[in-house]
A and B are shown apart, each in its own frame.
Chain A
Amino acid sequence: DIVMTQSPLSLPVTPGEPASISCRSSQSLLYSNGYNYLDWYLQKPGQPPQLLIFLGSNRASGVPDRFSGSGSGTDFTLKISRVEAEDVGIYYCMHHLQTTTWTFGQGTRVEIK
């Protein structure tokens, strides 16, 4: 099974400042088609999770451009260029290689300082 490890697990942020979350997988998520099968999700309080980034670096429709995803293979990063108050919640990475079972990272709780 692929293990997903996020860091940090808690991230106090200041509005207007950048923020970054790391996600590492125990096996490469780069498939032979050139795509990294890694998504990022945000679960805001009282809401279902929402897709932010798919295939490592593609923003989902409606996601503000202050969110960006990068990385390849086993190391991935989610960046928020300027945090806003509405960005609080728990961020999860998840791999979805089609050849195996899927797993989430532990989650990173982002809160305003």
Chain B
Amino acid sequence: QVQLQESGPGLVKPSQTLSLTCSVSGDSIGRGSFSWSWIRRPVGKGLEWIGRFYDGGATNYSPSLKSRVTISIDTSKNQLSLDLRSVTAADTAVYYCARGGVAGAGALRYWGHGLLVTVSP
């Protein structure tokens, strides 16, 4: 069974970089067989897709965040990472990582439980 777990600081200061990791069990992130995504849900708002890592090395980012975000993987640790630079209060949200399903059976088939990150001085 694939399991994902987000981790990182729950509080980040404005203008700093938000860095999160997603630890994966039950699958090898380096296989390159699936898309690995980051999604967030700002407080009181809907889900926002941030970006994905796929095909073993390609990335794709939301146009609204593209200039500030980097998604990468660490195969030695079996982790997915998110870096979001120059954060503001608008980046306060619950952040989720997710993996796609087999043979296109869902873009976001497996989800982590989510991590609340607050941007505040």
Contact = CB atoms under 8 A, between A and B. Distances in A.
A101 B62 contact: yes
Contacts of A54: 101, 104-107, 109
Contact of B104 (A35, A43, A49): A35
A46 B62 CA distance: 25
A89 interface: no
A48 B111 contact: yes
B106 A60 contact: yes
Contacts of A43: 41, 47
Interface in B74-121: 96, 101, 104-109, 111-114
Nearest to B52: A102
Interface string B42-86: 000011110110000000111100000000000000000000000
Nearest to B66: A101
Nearest to A6: B46
A54 B62 CA distance: 21
Nearest to A60: B106
Interface residues of B, number: 25
Contact of B107 (A48, A58, A96): A96
Nearest to B108: A51
A85 to B, nearest CB: 23
A106 B61 CA distance: 19
B49 to A, nearest CB: 5
Interface of A: 1, 35, 37, 39, 41, 43, 48-51, 54-55, 58, 60, 90, 92, 94, 96, 101-107
Interface of B: 37, 39, 41, 46-49, 51-52, 60-63, 96, 101, 104-109, 111-114
Given A60-B101, A101-B63, A104-B49, 12 more contacts: A35-B104, A43-B41, A49-B108, A49-B111, A54-B101, A54-B107, A55-B104, A92-B47, A96-B107, A101-B51, A102-B49, A102-B107
19 contacts: A1-B63, A39-B107, A41-B47, A48-B96, A48-B111, A48-B112, A49-B96, A50-B111, A51-B101, A54-B101, A54-B107, A55-B104, A55-B105, A60-B101, A60-B105, A96-B107, A102-B49, A104-B49, A107-B47
